[in-house]
Amino acid sequence: MQDLQLSNPSIENTFGALFIGATLAAFLWGISNVQILFYFQMQRGTGMTFLKLAIILLWILDALHLAFIVHSIYYYLVINYASMSALTEIVWSFKLQVIFNVLITNSVHALYLHRLWIVSKGRSRALPITVCITVALDLGVDIALVWVLYQCHMFSDLIKAEWASYTALSTIAVVDIFIVSSLWYLLATSRTGFSSTDSFVDKLTAYIVNTGCIMSIGSVATMITCAVMPNNYIFIGVGFVVSKLYVNSFLALLNARYYLQGNADNNDSSDKRRVRRFLYQPESHIRVPQVEGVQASRKSMSKHPDDDEVIFTRPAQTDMPQRSPIAVTVEINSFSSV
């Protein structure tokens, strides 16, 4: 296995790749801030809940992860610019960002497991328990990866520890697929037979599959670039954005119900029935004086504040008692295509 060629390194595919990865990580961190702000706005007035605390903790971990990435890039490209001996060493912040990467991915897995446990309420717990076991195994593999990383002091030592990277990344990808497929199965078997509910479930299922694929893309891309280009830092730059993809995918899942519910509410509002009430006053058979005050009082008593009212009256001409008005309700359905 060839060592990393750092005696005369190519800045473009080594520290240039790290810089691009840090820039993308900062961009994704900004998107996660927007999603968090949106979630707290939608949840204002509900008090402090478990998910709010989890999101705050996740934001702190994500911010610290980005801070360590920025420090490592600043250390290599600014503080030790053109210092070849410093460029070959692994700075402490680089190792810490890996730890926070592991913490974020496992935290997101735990939150997905929590959602899976909620969705499986009233059913067999075998599926979420199985997913919990796989998440625990992934945590063990990640701990081994961190231990191996702290045995490395030079970037060339990472080649010797590539087996740990492959194992951790492949395990993460398997856990992602397992979580997404479990959520898909539980939602697909949650149909009620009502078209509106089934449509909402279908949209939510598609949203979960898409966000799950986004999670897996980062780990799979890191593994592929590490296998194809082990002599540069492109796989490390791709690894910078993995945790950001995890955070954004989970936040998108939380906010999906508000996006989808908003569409459902718009469809429901377009399907509301407009009710128009006609008060038909039959022809009376007694001649009574038409007093304006009595007519005004009848009109105010029979008027509904939300209904359009049309009163048909004819003059009374016979001697039979006057009948009370008959309310006729006409419902006009207004449907809109989905």
What confidence score (pLDDT) does residue 108 get? Answer: 94
CA distance 17 to 23: 10
User: b vs e for 62-81, b when ≥16 Cβ sit within 10 Å of the residue's Cβ?
Assistant: bebbbebbebbbebbbeeee
CA distance 115 to 112: 5
- Helix and strand numbers, DSSP H then E, in the chain: 10, 3
DSSP-assigned beta bridge partners for residue 327 = 279
Full-model pTM: 0.73
Q: How would you write the pLDDT of the chain (338 residues) with one tens digit per residue?
A: 344 444 445 788 889 999 999 999 999 999 999 999 999 998 888 888 999 999 999 999 999 999 999 999 999 999 988 788 888 889 999 999 999 999 999 999 999 999 888 888 878 788 889 999 999 999 999 999 999 999 988 888 887 888 888 899 899 989 998 998 888 888 878 767 777 777 777 777 777 787 778 888 888 898 899 888 888 899 999 999 999 999 999 998 888 877 666 554 554 444 443 334 434 444 444 444 444 444 444 444 444 444 444 444 444 444 455 555 444 433 333 323 23
What is the full DSSP assignment across 80-121? TTT-HHHHTBPPHHHHHHHHHHHHHHHHHHHHHHHHHHHHTT
